[in-house]
Amino acid sequence: MGSCSCVVLSSTKPLCRRILITYKRSSLFGFQIPIPNHSSVINLSKSRFKLHGSKGIHNHTCKSTVLGLEAAIDPKLGFRNISDSNQRGFCGSASNWGRQPKLLLNGCPVGGIDRKFSRLVSKVASDYRNHSTSVESHVNDTSWEKIYIKGRLNVNVKPLVIEEVERKDENEDYNLSVNKESLDNTTTVLSDKRIESEIEKEAWKLLRGSIVNYCGSPVGTVAATDPADKLPLNYDQVFIRDFIPSALAFLLNGEGEIVKNFLLHTLQLQSWEKTVDCHSPGQGLMPASFKVRSVPLDGKLGEFEDVLDPDFGESAIGRVAPVDSGLWWIILLRAYGKITGDYSLQERVDVQTGIRLILKLCLADGFDMFPTLLVTDGSCMIDRRMGIHGHPLEIQALFYSALRCSREMVKVNESTQSLVAAINNRLSALSFHIREYYWVDMKKINEIYRYKTEEYSTDAINKFNIYPEQIPSWLVDWIPESGGYLIGNLQPAHMDFRFFTLGNLWSIVSSLGTPKQNDGILNLIEEKWDELVANMPLKICYPALDYEEWRIITGSDPKNTPWSYHNGGSWPTLLWQFTLACIKMKRPELARKAIALAEKKLSSDQWPEYYDTRFGRFIGKQSRLYQTWTIAGFLTAKKLLENPEMASKLFWEEDYELLENCVCGLGKHGRKKCSRSAARFHF
């Protein structure tokens, strides 16, 4: 990739692809959409900007591909601007819903948009549906809204609650030394006096070396930069999830530009035309990764252009859709605002639309009986078959966090009122479900051990018909007297008792667990230190699958052999999430211990992606070296420990309002106490 010293300016060429936009009458969400009686053709699919003053030997041209409406390319960053958020298909209230466009690319409908929108027509059909947490059922249903208003939730919905949240932050009483003056002041963080160790210096150098530029601006970091790696596969791409620790390291270092660029460019990719064997996933899907390619310009010898090339799973091994990408994107967007104080980014119309598209996918009605998000195997950090399909904890914790972030960021107006209501409702249902059914400790396992099965009634104790024989033998001796954790997954007649670190840590960070459960998780990690941390923090999951289980559940995956990679390998990148959880629970000493352990080895081992063996003693068999999120995770962990007040902007305390605002109506009819609001007292 040649480097470009500046990005400009004049759109030199007629655009090579055109998007034909027609408008048609539709009754999306049950109300009529006015029809403008025209079609318009706008040239927005590919815009080219000449790059002048290219440092490389070639002339580079920047090209941005956008599938959107009334999109314009910001001459500097190449971002789209969409003049009316309602045009980008999310559920607004009837009065606010604008024209619903049909996009045609070269005469063909783009991305199945039309089909998808028409699916959104919904209606309240039953009482159950009135209580559904889906957006779709709420969007356009006045009867639902009436119920909701009765339940007073929409009175309590949080508008842009930035002020309130910030007030909370300032009132936090940390045991850790907090320089109050540095609150909201990134430059103070920068002027931190602690002298960087040689290892940190090396890490910063490597992190900077992993930066990818697009049209002359930094837009992300590649997954790994091992010069000896002759077969990088997709490790030369910018992964959304991998970039999070990089982004935080930069933000905590006062460097916001790369993060802003990343957020805006990945937002562009959200609207990409994406298909796997003729099927298009939802428009809000964010890619797992993207690559900046330098491609020769047609008919211009020696001239090149930068092109962003996303992977939504259509090339990924196993073709999995990255459910976590959009959730991480929302989490990072909020973090950017909280750390830099620049809230204008999240307020932009196109960014607001991006948030709503992601939420639309997550909150869509399905066949689910649970508030948890149903996903395929491998749709998150564990992106190969590991038996985590269904309702894996990691996705639920990220989903919960993304909803909490969105609640702070979504602008409340007539068109988003129902969305905000749906977010609140889903948050309370989700936290109740996870706290009640995913939590295990000594007492709960003993209850499961004595479960009656085949209970047919709404009052069943063993609601999911779990057969006690499922309690794995390793757990019987392993579960400590005090402490506990959230299990990996819950399905009918199936509890996945494995301990998944990321899901548990992120449940602490987001307050998906109760304060007592969150404490209990850290107690368990401390108690099981020799297994979960051992020689290298931290095990991705515990224990490993072996023998028949490995054969059947992983599909005999040679990369996921017992105690390797996703199957019980140790991933140093998890250090930053562990540190954040420890700071939140006022136990930074645990994080310090883990960081010290990692610091002893990471540099001399050349920053591996993961470690193998039961106690994390060997560098992973197929582990990449100079793995960026290992490097960034270490730096972010260090930065968080140094700046607990900054760290506090990245986690959430218990939200009692959510627990109280249940709309299930049980309490209101006086028949039975609603268990959701009781959830906070349970533990």
**Shortest Å distance, C-beta 374 to ligand GLC:** 20
Looking at 184-304, list the stretches that DSSP marks H as alpha helix, in order from N- to C-terminal side. 186-190, 198-209, 240-252, 257-270
CA distances from 599 to 9, 530, 592, 604, 649 (A): 46, 17, 10, 9, 25
CA pseudo-torsion sign 161, 166, 167, 173 = positive
Stretch that binds ligand GLC, among 32-40, 151-159, 176-184, 238-246 (CB under 6 A): 238-246
**Shortest Å distance, C-beta 239 to ligand GLC:** 4
**Shortest Å distance, C-beta 241 to ligand GLC:** 5
Q: Which is nearer to ligand GLC, 223 or 395 (CB)?
A: 223
**Shortest Å distance, C-beta 269 to ligand GLC:** 16
**Shortest Å distance, C-beta 556 to ligand GLC:** 18
Q: Which is nearer to ligand GLC, 311 or 383 (CB)?
A: 383
Confirm or reject binding of residue 500 to ligand GLC (CB under 6 A).
no
**Shortest Å distance, C-beta 575 to ligand GLC:** 15
**Paired tokens of 119:** 């699916």
Stretch that binds ligand GLC, among 239-247, 326-334, 402-410, 514-522 (CB under 6 A): 239-247
Residue span 407-436 as binding mask against ligand GLC, x where in contact by CB under 6 A, dash where not? ------------------------------
Q: Helix or strand or coil: residue 491?
A: strand
Stretch that binds ligand GLC, among 83-91, 236-244, 356-364, 655-663 (CB under 6 A): 236-244
HEC secondary structure over 555-579: CCCCCCCCCECCEECECHHHHHHHH
Stretch that binds ligand GLC, among 50-58, 67-75, 114-122, 237-245 (CB under 6 A): 237-245
Transcribe 604-640 into DSSP letters: TTT--S-EETTTT-EE-TTPPSSBHHHHHHHHHHHHH
Residue span 174-213 as binding mask against ligand GLC, x where in contact by CB under 6 A, dash where not? ----------------------------------------
Q: Which of 332, 381, 471, 522 binds ligand GLC (CB under 6 A)?
A: 381
Q: Which of 241, 338, 404, 435 binds ligand GLC (CB under 6 A)?
A: 241
| 482 contacts 523 by C-beta, under 8 angstroms | yes
Confirm or reject binding of residue 383 to ligand GLC (CB under 6 A).
yes
Transcribe 281-308 into DSSP letters: --TTPPPSEEEEEEEEPTT-TTEEEEEE
Rg of the chain over all Cα atoms, to the nearest angstrom: 25
| 62 contacts 305 by C-beta, under 8 angstroms | yes
> Using CA atoms, how far apart are residues 381 and 77, in angstroms rounded to an integer?
29
Q: Which is nearer to ligand GLC, 420 or 536 (CB)?
A: 536
**Shortest Å distance, C-beta 41 to ligand GLC:** 39
- Side-chain half-sphere CA neighbours of 40 within 13 A: 10
Return the residue nearest ligand GLC (CB atom): 223
Confirm or reject binding of residue 242 to ligand GLC (CB under 6 A).
yes
Tell me the β-bridge partners of 303.
Answer: 59
Q: Which is nearer to ligand GLC, 239 or 542 (CB)?
A: 239
| 496 contacts 437 by C-beta, under 8 angstroms | no
Q: Which of 223, 267, 363, 440 binds ligand GLC (CB under 6 A)?
A: 223
Tell me the β-bridge partners of 108.
Answer: 105
Task: Count the site residues for ligand GLC by CB under 6 A.
Answer: 6
Stretch that binds ligand GLC, among 113-121, 142-150, 235-243, 428-436 (CB under 6 A): 235-243
Confirm or reject binding of residue 239 to ligand GLC (CB under 6 A).
yes
Task: Characterize 445-474 residue by residue with b for buried, 16 or more Cβ atoms within 10 angstroms of its Cβ, and e for exposed.
Answer: beebeebeeeeeeeeeebeeebeeeebeee
Q: Tell me the one-letter amino acid at 8.
A: V
Task: By CB under 6 A, name the binding residues for ligand GLC.
Answer: 223, 239, 241-242, 381, 383
